[in-house]
Structure 1
Amino acid sequence: MKALVFIAIIFLVGCAPKIVSTPSGLQYRIVQKGSGAAAKAGDEVFIYETTSYRNGTVLYSNYDSTSPVRVLIGGNQATQAVDEGLRGMREGEIRELTCPPYLVKRKGYPPNVSPDSTLVIKIRLDRIVAK
């Protein structure tokens, strides 16, 4: 019985989504893989996102909207965390970013957020705009 429990634990640990840490301090995990070409600097993309505190309190979300947000990667249109987190994503991919305070600083976004807050941002890349 102990061997069976041990094998189950090994299997579950092996199935856990890998957390990637970038040199900037951003951490992310891929919740759902996408397909197609990878997004890169200079691409315009449409995204859905939810920004929350680590305790789950939602600060902003457009997931229930029919209108994704259009963002130019590298165009200073999003926080540094979102801009970095979008790079390498594929259409349909969902990533959950854990963002240190210095990567989410932006005047008025999201409103009423302590500047020392680590935020969790869930992003779904809806599509990359054809050039």
Structure 2
Amino acid sequence: MRTTPSGLQYTILKKGSGPKAETGKEILLFETTSYRNGTVLYSNENSTSPVKVLIGGNQATQAVDEALVGMRAGEIKKIIAPPYLVKRKDYPENVHPDSTLVIKMILHKIL
């Protein structure tokens, strides 16, 4: 596990290929978000519909935006995000605001 200056921890589970994702680019993403104990809060990983995200466009949490930068298509990254990097305006019922979250991200495509 590597730790960034913000406190985000990550490991690359599978390397991708092609150009690197960067701030201002739109990407298609599959992800699974869970608590550290393994309880899954959200997943689109087994669907055929990736989520479109504009990196740096306030469409994802700070943790996801940070982790996406530098990823390549096909790359799989696991991040451990402290509560201050996954703050949201509104929380789904199943997500506690003070939780550290584990997010498995699969960068499907850079648009």
Superposed pair shares fold, TM > 0.5 = yes
Distance 1:103 1:35, change over 3 A: same
Q: Which runs of 5+ in 2 are unaligned?
A: none
Distance 2:98 2:50 in 1: 28
Equivalent in 41, 62, 67 of residue 49 of structure 2: 67
Q: 1:37 to 1:79 in 2, by over 3 A?
A: same
- Does the CA-based 8 Å contact 1:59-1:110 persist in structure 2? no
| Residue 102 (str. 1) matches residue 89 (str. 2) | no
Partner of 2:29: 47
RMSD value, Cα:
1.0
Matched, 1:21 2:3: yes
Counterpart in the other structure of 1:87: 69
How far did residue 90 of structure 1 move? 0.3
Residues 109, 96 of structure 1: CA spacing in aligned structure 2 closer, same or farther, 3 A cutoff? farther
**Higher share in helix:** 1
- The alpha-carbon deviation at position 109 of structure 1 amounts to 4.4
User: 1:46 touches 1:69 (CA, 8 Å); kept in 2?
Assistant: yes
Moved over 3 A (4+): 108-111
Larger strand proportion of the pair? 2
Q: 2:17 — aligned with what?
A: 35
Give the C-alpha shift of residue 43 in structure 1: 0.6
The one-letter code of the counterpart of 1:58 is V
Answering whether residue 105 of structure 2 is matched by residue 120 of structure 1, we say no
TM-score, normalising length from structure 2? 0.96
Q: Tell me by how many angstroms 1:111 deviates.
A: 3.6
Structure 1 residue ranges without an equivalent (≥5):
1-18
Query: What is the rounded CA distance, in whole Å, between the counterparts of 1:59 and 1:105 in structure 2?
Result: 15
Higher RCO (C-alpha under 8 Å, 6+ residues apart): 2
Identity of aligned residues (%): 69
